[in-house]
Amino acid sequence: MCQTDLVLPKRGDYGKTQRRLERALEPVPDSADAVLETFLTTVADVLELDSSCWHHTDPASGSPVSSSVVADPPGSEREAMQYEFRRPDVNRFSELVRDRAGVASISLATGRRPARSLRFREMIEPAGLQDELRISCKDAFGTWAAVAGFTRRPMTEDDVRFVAEAAPTVTESLRLANAAEWAPECGGTPPDADCGPSVLILDANDRILAADAVARQRLELLPTQAPVRLPGIVAYLAARARWDATAHSASARTRTPDGRWFVLDASAMDDVPGNVAVVMQPASSPAVLAHVLRSHGLSVRERQIAALLAQGQSAKSIAANLVLSPWTVQDHIKAIYRKTGVGARSDLSSLAAGAGAA
């Protein structure tokens, strides 16, 4: 179908869809998955979405930590990572994170010649689809999700502008949903089999060459998508360590479905090309607190002061350490308590403990 045959949305269609989305996300859905499901369902008609997928991300690093799909998106996770790291292509998520809007389509990125994109030519077009729209859901506090929507028509500049205008609403809802999911009342952390690090070694095809017993137990805690057996976060970090020319290693924090927080570090091994070592260990309480405070919308300075408060430091001591006036510190403390909903410094520590710190 050529573009002149398409019935494109009118300006009013975008406005109506935007208003429906705002109503649907107020109040904020009770989970980050529900936020993205609501968003994609609401915009499906105006964008002619065929299928989609999304990855929740570690807000600090932007690394995907879990994934979901709607309908039957083309390609596989391993193929997608080849285009992301190993083979040249447009609209890589690592680039969208740095882009101001964080929204792009293959059609527009290639000057209306989508076959210039390997991903389109080899994965999307054979599935009978016309375009891919990518969204990096990011704000001043972190990157919360990466979304890909596959469409039955080429995207227009109006489509991308509409999504870019809707993205802040979706991102804020994602952040607030994460804050609710990580709240103390959601439960503590089950005891871990070993509080130290665990190690597994992967070959170039992500087969496990070696792993200690604790690593195998912890892998079972991480979500996977059939038919792939290796958890998505492990596969992503391994691919980045293996193929990303700008990084010999990659790391991310993640929370397992049963409430445990872990830090994963993947490093390329020099002895055998393609082999990667993945170290997984429980996250410290300060690391989890910093992660959770992002979801509550605390600034860098507020997170810094909150961490010191949680360590038991007084406002006077914090002012001296950070070379700030006591009044400035007190203003920050008031903002910290207001944004997190806690009433005392001891409650800040419980945010990390209750959110699942080991």
Closest CA to 80 of 144, 25, 132, 10: 132
Asked if 142 and 102 count as a contact pair (C-beta separation under 8 A), the reply is no
Where does the chain hold its CATH 3.30.450.40 domain(s)? 3-181
CATH 3.40.225.10 fits 3-181, yes or no: no
pLDDT by position in tens, the chain (length 358): 444 466 788 878 999 999 999 999 999 888 999 999 999 999 999 999 999 999 999 999 899 998 899 999 998 888 888 899 888 899 999 899 888 889 999 999 999 999 999 999 999 999 999 999 999 999 999 999 999 999 999 999 999 999 999 999 999 999 999 988 876 544 444 444 446 899 999 999 999 999 999 999 999 988 876 666 789 899 999 999 998 867 778 999 998 888 889 999 999 998 888 899 999 999 988 888 888 899 999 999 999 999 999 888 999 999 999 999 999 999 999 999 999 888 777 777 777 665 543 3
Q: Could you tell me which CATH number the domain at 286-355 has?
A: 1.10.10.10
Backbone φ and ψ for 101, nearest 5 degrees, come out as -80, -40
Q: Could you tell me which CATH number the domain at 198-283 has?
A: 3.30.450.20
Exposure of 318 by Cβ count < 10 A (0-12 exposed, 13-18 middle, 19+ buried)? Answer: buried
Which residues have C-beta within 8 Å of that of residue 228, sequence separation ≥ 6?
76, 77, 78, 235
Where does the chain hold its CATH 3.30.450.20 domain(s)? 198-283
